Amino acid sequence: MSPLSFDGRTAIITGAGRGLGREYALLLASRGANVVVNDAGVDLEGRGNSAEPAESVVETITSAGGSAVANFDDVREAGTGKVLVEQALDGFGRLDIVINNAGVSCPRPFSEQSADDLTATVEVNLYGAAQVTQAAWPHLANAGHGRLVNTTSGTLFGAPGQSYYVMAKGGLFGFTKTLALEGADLGIKANCIAPAGWTRMAIGAAADDLLTPEMWEFAEAAMPPAVNAAVVAYLAHEGCAVSGETLSCSGGRLARLVLSETEGVEVSADLTPEEVADRLGAITDLAVLHQFTSAAEMLGHTQQKLINRTR
């Protein structure tokens, strides 16, 4: 297979000054992309600001002969999406790719989470991705091959001490599936990565005893941030063959993360709580799993089951 090129393409990457986002920016730029490197330079919980992270990445890219500009706006602020799009168009004349990577984490037990924790986590991880995407959407459609890559997380399986973070990442999972459906006729493909990299955010979570010493040692050795960049680059390329999917990259494994429904049981309109209790084993049996591309497909499946039952 020939190398995947991004020559002439322009990408906005949020949270690209450090960690995973930095690796995404460096890889896409090395393959010819023009990159708008967005990073407000906040700390792990969304406080403070610094121009240095974004400027450093741009300097690295341009010193190597690549093309990039820095942006220091906070994705949670209204209007940041519009500014990023204008910067891409003014600097490079087009917009083809949006990678929503910016994120913060406030790892604490749920009982200790504050209203400020909720606001910061949801505004950066979820609202920020939504408002940047909305500003970019018509331009991705105009490109005819627009690509959107959102960032969900393996914490969807449950992560004590990360309740608000998981809530936001779960929202992005469903958001991306819906955008994939809406973008299908526009040439836009939307996917997620559920990355795992030994970044300052991961280290910050580990420092709060959310990882055992054995898991810490494994993560440090097996989760270099740069591995995720290859996955994002594929999802961002016009040759990407999937939409509405989530690829999970963790500890030397690359897999598909799916939402599915069990076969379940047939019930009547006079269902009782006792019947639910009695039949719980059959309801939750994982022997047969169904995966749907949309809520409409799931409803159609249910409708067909009802039709078959009443024949």
Average pLDDT, the chain: 90
The mean pLDDT value for 140-166 works out to 95
* Residue 203 pLDDT > 80: no
Closest CA to 290 of 277, 311, 278, 304: 304
Structure tokens at 33: 């992309």
Catalytic residue at 165? Answer: yes
Please, are residues 148 and 188 in contact by the beta-carbon 8 Å criterion?
yes
For residue 143, the model assigns a pLDDT of 94
Per DSSP, the three-state class of 90 is helix
One-letter amino acid of 222 = A
Q: Tell me: the pLDDT tens digits for 101-152?
A: 999 989 899 999 999 999 999 999 999 999 999 999 999 999 999 999 999 9
Contacts of 198 (CB under 8 A, 6+ apart): 219, 220, 223, 224, 225
* Residue 209 pLDDT > 60: no
Task: Name which residue leads in pLDDT, 69 or 204.
Answer: 69
Report DSSP letters for 235-278, one per residue: HHSTT---SS-EEEEETTEEEEE---EE------TT--HHHHHH
Report DSSP letters for 113-143, one per residue: --HHHHHHHHIIIIIHHHHHHHHHHHHHHHH
Instruction: State the pLDDT confidence band at 308, using cuts at 50, 70 and 90.
Output: confident
Tokens 């910061």, residue located: 120
Instruction: State the pLDDT confidence band at 39, using cuts at 50, 70 and 90.
Output: very high
Tokens 């939409």, residue located: 243
Instruction: State the pLDDT confidence band at 46, using cuts at 50, 70 and 90.
Output: low
In the chain, the percentage of residues whose pLDDT exceeds 90 is 75
Please, are residues 9 and 214 in contact by the beta-carbon 8 Å criterion?
no
The mean pLDDT value for 276-282 works out to 97
The mean pLDDT value for 23-51 works out to 86
- Hey, what CATH topology would domain 10-257 get? Rossmann fold (3.40.50)
For residue 298, the model assigns a pLDDT of 84
* Residue 309 pLDDT > 80: no
Instruction: State the pLDDT confidence band at 100, using cuts at 50, 70 and 90.
Output: very high
For residue 304, the model assigns a pLDDT of 78
* Lowest mean pLDDT across 147-151, 176-180, 290-294: 290-294
For residue 202, the model assigns a pLDDT of 57
For residue 43, the model assigns a pLDDT of 60
Per DSSP, the three-state class of 33 is coil
For residue 144, the model assigns a pLDDT of 92
Instruction: State the pLDDT confidence band at 205, using cuts at 50, 70 and 90.
Output: low
- Candidate list 24, 127, 165, 234, residue with the active-site label: 165
For residue 118, the model assigns a pLDDT of 96
Structure tokens at 156: 């969807």
* Residue 281 pLDDT > 90: yes
* Residue 198 pLDDT > 80: no
Please, are residues 150 and 100 in contact by the beta-carbon 8 Å criterion?
yes
String of b and e for 93-124 (b: at least 16 CB within 10 Å)? eebbbbbbbbbbbbbbeeeebeeebeebbbbb
Closest CA to 148 of 172, 120, 122, 124: 172
CB count within 10 Å of CB 290 equals: 12
Instruction: State the pLDDT confidence band at 299, using cuts at 50, 70 and 90.
Output: confident
Tokens 């290859």, residue located: 230
d(CA 123, CA 143): 28
* Residue 95 pLDDT > 60: yes
For residue 231, the model assigns a pLDDT of 96
For residue 208, the model assigns a pLDDT of 47
